[in-house]
């Protein structure tokens, strides 16, 4: 977030600790009025998940349940879509064209006031000594009636079964995952790479950088995109074909009503192999 | 003896063709007939993967996008390339310099030039939108609406492709004997008649080869769409190549990716065979 833009409307970073999505909707017009709108991608791009899934989950919606049944058509999903339709009115129209770096440029250019993103925006601003660097801060995402969530997609290490050096590779992974080395990876990535295992909970990097102080301990529930859908090829396809961001985008631009958008998403998910009731 | 020596001499080239072309194509065909995913070997399933692919709405949308993209870009590159070739053919001085300038879009690496176009079409910082706003006009959502995004990728493809068409047509024009035009003028033929009765028929072999080559390259286009739009917005610019990549690699469905990329293979094979037959017949 651009804390100077928020301070101009009388809200501090600490105030956002108790923000709900409804609060964000109330302040969005004020931020847009002063020329510093909020924004996140509402189109078929990966970063869109970071803004849309927390809203879905906070309103109690689930796209696919734990058993792999499609549950996207629900009053909760409709409520989430209607919320985004309202919120999008105070975003620049560019959000429908942003790629994964669009929201980064939005904040770095000094235009945007808020976007859901890892600390890479802050890291680039500091690294490149941009004027906006001092104004960038981070706060937890808002909460909804069903909780406060953040998307935490994770990457995994793997060793090919056909590798002639499996034991050596395992040794390398053990070395990389030593707590003292994980600390170095977190520092080298300016806090962008966030370890997922509890053993690394005590990394102090977050407390040494004021803009990162709210990353630890995490205030939100961290979930991977698509949760609670079971991991597998079906969700890999749904994620890569951007079904959920497209569902929102179609409703927001008016191509479909929220109900039509939900049904469209349901059809697409069923065709990808998820189960229907 | 000479025959054996000849076969030995072409053996290295044949080996390279086998390794770099026949083997990958064969492996793709086999993969498309399995249900293989990245990390699993998969089982032979015949045409079931093709059936699954055809039943996905995004595939039919992509097929339509590809048809639209190919037909419009080919038509524009042909018309504009021919116009440029005719213009360069009739310029009395500086023709070689002009040819060098015209070739630039084709010579610059695609990824570099498309990155520049991406900046020009950027939703927030587009120089084109800045010019429009200075003229008092509305900004255009270049990559944010299906219509404008399609126009954007078509524009970039045509910009890149015109040089090849114009240089090829220009070479064809140079090969046409001038005496034909002189005698046509003596017989009272106007410019357009000379074009329709002399230039166009004699350029047909060049047309066929250029169109065939461009058809194959345009259908297989990947980098322009991948860099500019990643197939969006709303899957409106996905081509078979970009969809095959998205499904096969990040989506891990490598067999479906292979099926998508091979879908037009029989059609292209037929088109190539047909076009080459026409060319050979014309030369005879």
Instruction: List Cα–Cα distances, A262 to A47, A76, A250, A269, B152, in angstroms.
Output: 20, 11, 10, 11, 30
Q: Give A102's contacts in chain B (Cβ within 8 Å).
A: 123-124
Distance CA A220, CA B18 (A): 55
Nearest C-alpha neighbor of A43 from the set B149, B178, B154, B80: B149
Residue of A97, A112, A233 to mutate when probing chain B, most B C-beta within 10 A = A97
Query: Each residue of B149-191: pLDDT tens digit?
Result: 999 999 999 999 999 999 999 999 988 888 888 888 888 888 8
Q: Which of A89-98, B127-136, B264-273 has the lowest mean pLDDT?
A: B264-273
Query: Each residue of B115-131: pLDDT tens digit?
Result: 999 999 998 889 999 99
Q: Give A255's contacts in chain B (Cβ within 8 Å).
A: 234
pLDDT at B41: 84
Cβ neighbors of A258 (< 8 A, separation 6 or more) are A77, A78, A81, A82, A85, A251
pLDDT at B40: 84
Q: Is residue B261 one of the residues assigned to a domain?
A: yes
Residue A255 touches partner B, C-beta closer than 8 Å? yes
pLDDT at A217: 81
Q: Give B59's contacts in chain A (Cβ within 8 Å).
A: none
pLDDT at A39: 97
Strand runs labelled E in chain A: 143-144, 147-151, 221-223
Q: Give A44's contacts in chain B (Cβ within 8 Å).
A: 230-235
Residue of A233, A261, A264 to mutate when probing chain B, most B C-beta within 10 A = A233
Which of A94, A240, A246 minimises the CB distance to B144? A94
- Domain residue ranges of chain A, discontinuous segments joined by +: 3-156+195-271
Please judge whether A246 and B145 are an interchain contact, meaning their C-beta atoms are less than 8 angstroms apart. no
Please judge whether B124 and A99 are an interchain contact, meaning their C-beta atoms are less than 8 angstroms apart. no
Q: Is residue B254 one of the residues assigned to a domain?
A: yes
Rounded to an integer, the average pLDDT of B85-114 is 88
* A132 min Cα distance to partner chain B (Å): 17
Q: Is residue B19 one of the residues assigned to a domain?
A: no
Q: Give A242's contacts in chain B (Cβ within 8 Å).
A: 232
Please judge whether B141 and A268 are an interchain contact, meaning their C-beta atoms are less than 8 angstroms apart. no
pLDDT at B283: 61
SS3 A251: helix
Mark residue A115 as left, alpha or beta (left: phi above 0; alpha: psi -120 to 50; beta: remaining). Answer: beta
CATH number at residue B198: 1.10.3720.10
Domain count, chain B: 1
Confidence of residue B97 (pLDDT cuts 50, 70, 90): confident
* A48 min Cα distance to partner chain B (Å): 12
Residue A153 touches partner B, C-beta closer than 8 Å? no
* A233 min Cα distance to partner chain B (Å): 7
Please judge whether B234 and A109 are an interchain contact, meaning their C-beta atoms are less than 8 angstroms apart. no
The whole-model pTM stands at 0.87
Nearest C-alpha neighbor of B248 from the set B49, B17, B9: B49
Residue A49 touches partner B, C-beta closer than 8 Å? no
Please judge whether B247 and A240 are an interchain contact, meaning their C-beta atoms are less than 8 angstroms apart. yes
Residue B275 pLDDT more than 70?
yes
Answer for the pair B276, B216: CB distance below 8 angstroms, yes or no.
no
SS3 A73: coil
pLDDT at A216: 79
Per-residue pLDDT of chain A (277 residues), as tens digits, is: 999 999 999 999 999 999 999 999 999 999 999 999 999 999 999 999 999 999 999 999 999 999 999 999 999 999 999 999 999 999 999 999 999 999 999 999 999 999 999 999 999 999 999 999 999 999 999 999 999 999 998 888 999 988 999 999 999 999 999 999 999 999 999 988 888 888 887 788 888 899 999 887 888 999 999 999 999 999 999 999 999 999 999 999 999 999 999 999 999 999 999 999 8
Q: Give B151's contacts in chain A (Cβ within 8 Å).
A: none
Nearest C-alpha neighbor of A246 from the set A86, A44, A61: A44
Residue B67 pLDDT more than 90?
yes
Answer for the pair B261, B28: CB distance below 8 angstroms, yes or no.
yes
Q: Is residue B9 one of the residues assigned to a domain?
A: no
Which domain, by its residues, includes B268? 35-283
Please judge whether B232 and A242 are an interchain contact, meaning their C-beta atoms are less than 8 angstroms apart. yes
Residue B284 pLDDT more than 80?
no
A168 compared with B268, residue with greater pLDDT: A168
Interface of B with A (CB under 8 A): 37, 55-58, 122-125, 141-145, 149, 230-235, 246-247, 250-253
Q: Which of A161-165, B132-136, B277-281 has the lowest mean pLDDT?
A: B277-281
Nearest C-alpha neighbor of A52 from the set A83, A24, A74: A83
SS3 A37: coil
Distance CA A132, CA A11 (A): 18
pLDDT at A227: 96
Please judge whether A241 and B246 are an interchain contact, meaning their C-beta atoms are less than 8 angstroms apart. yes
Please judge whether A240 and B124 are an interchain contact, meaning their C-beta atoms are less than 8 angstroms apart. no
SS3 A275: strand
Query: Each residue of A150-161: pLDDT tens digit?
Result: 999 888 899 998
Answer for the pair B81, B166: CB distance below 8 angstroms, yes or no.
yes
Q: Give B235's contacts in chain A (Cβ within 8 Å).
A: 44, 241, 246
Residue A236 touches partner B, C-beta closer than 8 Å? yes
Tokens at B29, concatenated: 């065909």
Answer for the pair A40, A115: CB distance below 8 angstroms, yes or no.
yes
Other CB atoms within 10 Å distance of the CB of residue B33: 20
Does domain A3-156+195-271 bear CATH number 3.40.190.10? yes
At residue A202, φ and ψ (nearest 5 deg) are: -95, 25
Distance CA B42, CA B44 (A): 7
Residue A98 touches partner B, C-beta closer than 8 Å? yes
Rounded to an integer, the average pLDDT of B51-59 is 91
Distance CA A187, CA A196 (A): 15
Q: Which residue on chain A is closest to B246 by alpha carbon?
A: A240
């Amino acid at each position: 977030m651009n804390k100077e833009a928020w301070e101009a409307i009388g809200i501090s970073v600490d105030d956002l600790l108790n923000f709900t999505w409804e609060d964000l909707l109330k302040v969005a017009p004020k931020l847009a009025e002063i020329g510093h709108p909020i924004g996140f991608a509402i189109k078929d791009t990966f970063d869109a998940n970071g803004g849309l899934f927390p809203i879905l989950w906070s309103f109690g919606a689930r796209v696919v349940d734990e058993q792999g049944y499609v549950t996207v058509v629900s009053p909760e999903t409709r409520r989430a879509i209607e919320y985004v339709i309202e919120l999008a009115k105070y975003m620049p129209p560019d959000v429908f064209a942003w790629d994964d770096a669009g929201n980064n440029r939005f904040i770095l250019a000094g235009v945007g006031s808020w976007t859901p993103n890892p600390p890479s925006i802050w890291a680039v601003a500091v690294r490149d000594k941009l004027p906006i660097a001092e104004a960038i801060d981070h706060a937890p995402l808002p909460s909804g009636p069903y909780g406060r969530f953040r998307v935490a997609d994770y990457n995994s290490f793997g060793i090919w079964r056909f590798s002639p050096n499996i034991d050596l590779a395992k040794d390398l992974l053990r070395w990389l995952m030593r707590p003292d080395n994980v600390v170095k990876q977190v520092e080298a990535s300016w806090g962008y790479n966030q370890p997922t295992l509890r053993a690394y909970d005590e990394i102090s990097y977050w407390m040494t950088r004021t803009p990162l102080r709210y990353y630890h301990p995490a205030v939100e529930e961290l979930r991977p995109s698509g949760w609670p859908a079971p991991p597998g090829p079906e969700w890999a396809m749904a994620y890569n074909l951007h079904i959920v961001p497209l569902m929102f985008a179609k409703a927001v631009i008016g191509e479909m009503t929220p109900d039509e958008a939900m049904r469209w998403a349901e059809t697409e998910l069923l065709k990808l192999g998820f189960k229907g009731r | 003896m000479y025959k054996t020596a000849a076969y030995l001499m072409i053996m290295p080239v044949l080996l390279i063709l086998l390794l770099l072309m026949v083997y990958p194509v064969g492996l793709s065909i086999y993969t498309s007939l399995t249900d293989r995913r990245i990390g699993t070997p998969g089982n032979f399933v015949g045409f079931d993967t093709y059936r699954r692919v055809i039943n996905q709405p995004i595939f039919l949308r992509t097929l339509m996008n590809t048809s639209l993209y190919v037909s419009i870009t080919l038509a524009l590159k042909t018309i504009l390339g021919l116009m440029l070739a005719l213009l360069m053919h009739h310029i009395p001085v500086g023709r070689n310099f002009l040819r060098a300038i015209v070739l630039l879009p084709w010579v610059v690496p695609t990824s570099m030039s498309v990155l520049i176009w991406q900046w020009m079409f950027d939703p927030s910082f587009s120089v084109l939108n800045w010019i429009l706003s200075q003229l008092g006009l509305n900004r255009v959502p270049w990559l944010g609406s299906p219509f404008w995004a399609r126009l954007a990728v078509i524009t970039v493809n045509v910009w890149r492709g015109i040089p090849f068409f114009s240089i090829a047509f220009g070479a064809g024009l140079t090969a046409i004997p001038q005496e034909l035009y002189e005698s046509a003028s003596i017989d009272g033929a106007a410019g357009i008649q000379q074009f329709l009765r002399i230039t166009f028929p004699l350029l047909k072999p060049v047309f066929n080869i250029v169109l065939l080559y461009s058809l194959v390259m345009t259908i297989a286009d990947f980098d322009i769409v991948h860099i500019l739009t990643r197939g969006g917005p709303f899957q409106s610019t996905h081509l078979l190549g970009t969809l095959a990549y998205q499904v096969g690699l990040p989506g891990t469905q490598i067999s479906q990716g292979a099926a998508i990329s091979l879908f037009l293979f029989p059609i292209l094979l037929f088109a190539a065979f047909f076009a080459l037959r026409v060319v050979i017949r014309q030369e005879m």
